[in-house]
Chains A and B, each alone.
Chain A
Amino acid sequence: MKNDEEISIQIVAAEYVLGTLEKDERDAVEAKRATDPMLEKAILSWQAHLAGLNDYVKEAEPRGDLFDDILAKLDQSSDKKPLPGKVVTPSSSGVVEIERMRAKLKRWRLTAFTTSAIAACLAVFMVVKPPVAPAVQANAPFVAVFQADDQQPAFIMSLDIDTRQLTVRSVTAQGQLEGKTYQLWIKADEIGPAPRSLGLLANVASPIQKQIDYDPAVIRHATFGISVEPAGGSPTGVPTGPAIHGKLYPTSL
């Protein structure tokens, strides 16, 4: 049984979405939703419930040059402050780069949502199923996400356990560092105490495939790492630069 508070939140949220609230009431809802998760959730829920009504709206045509005006306003506002993603040089802004990364992750995530409801079960990370190169990726029931900190790009890796083929993809288009390279590692108790190299990720602009010879059961539970190394790879045989890690998660139950 719902309590009165929940009912009144639902009513306020629904009226907000319907648009029947007066200005002061709308303002109050907008101020409150930022700090009231129940209200925010109710608003999102009513937006979804009522969105179908947009089907009733007939399309209409504004004047033809309206988009030019929109672009002109964008230019004006970008003179005052940088717009998201305006700076695309990766080295110039870690923040921009991380935004690009998030956007890409979202794109993968979106595909995961549209292709597999299972993805929702794995939402601890941004869960992904590679959307491209389906011929290569079709039998890739395991994925790992290498979540970056604010300085490093993230990677997504999928594994076809039958062929033991790993596919690693950079989430950033331009992940190359001057005079450096990325190196992929595997670490598992069965293999030994130190990480073992799985090779360099020399050109991360396109997906990189690696055949690995370890037992599937070992691969399945291993920790994978990607480190930044001098060009040519780690001089010591173990990771020397900053590394990010990931583990494989099944994409099916």
Chain B
Amino acid sequence: MNQPLLSEQHTTESLANLLLSVAQGDRHAFSELYQATHRKLFGIVYRILKNQAMSEEVLQEIYLKIWEKASSFDASVASPITWMATIARNRTIDEIRKNQLPDSDEEVDFDLIADDSMAPDDSFTRSQDLLKLEACLDGLESPRAEMIKAAYLDGFSRQELAERFGQPLGTIKTWLHRSIKQLQGCMTL
């Protein structure tokens, strides 16, 4: 079975089994889970926070949360990596919405972000989820697909999206709402 989000030889099932062991307080399984997933989760956090030290701090909290919440993992709702990525994104978004971040390690060049990393990492097989989502995003009027990706991947607020896309805030809100409605229709087909 391909596990498109991970470079390790872990399958959805083996990760789920690790999570179940973690739920029982198994630290060895926790270590294995960390080894298998931390690069991906750190990638998610770092891309949003763009600050190494803060990303590391947040990543610690994310794994502590995974440890605490492992028993609530439900394989019928989400895959293990999606479940963990959701915890990672939630925690990270909370962090940036909570605070004005200290200076990031890098000057954020919006054009560069758009050019450099709006394509899937080639080292991973594209998941079925992504193929369907991309088909639906393709149906959005330009540049709304980029806006959705910038929001999800870079954690941009509406205000940041307004700056990034050179639009008034009201327009961004309208774009978001229309895109969501259109995606909702497309994804549930």
Contact = CB atoms under 8 A, between A and B. Distances in A.
* Size category, A interface: 35 or more
Given A23-B97, A60-B46, A110-B13, A51 B132 contact: no
Contact of B187 (A21, A49, A111): A49
A180 interface: no
Contacts of B131: 52
A138 interface: no
Interface residues of B, number: 83
B124 A55 contact: yes
Interface residues of B: mostly helix, strand, loop or mixed? helix
A26 to B, nearest CB: 6
Nearest to A119: B76
Interface string A64-81: 001101110110010000
A92 interface: no
A143 interface: no
A109 B180 contact: no
A109 to B, nearest CB: 7
Contacts of A14: 180, 183-184
B132, B134, B180: most-surrounded residue (chain A CB, <10 A): B180
A102 B71 CA distance: 9
Contacts of A109: 75-76
Contacts of A107: 16-17, 20
A26 B94 CA distance: 8
B149 to A, nearest CB: 6
Interface string B1-33: 000110100001100110011011111000100
Nearest to A7: B181
A106 interface: yes
A57 B88 CA distance: 13
B180 A10 contact: yes
22 contacts: A15-B180, A20-B161, A20-B176, A22-B97, A49-B187, A53-B149, A53-B153, A54-B81, A59-B42, A59-B121, A62-B42, A62-B56, A67-B38, A70-B60, A77-B64, A85-B71, A86-B25, A103-B24, A106-B75, A107-B20, A110-B17, A110-B20
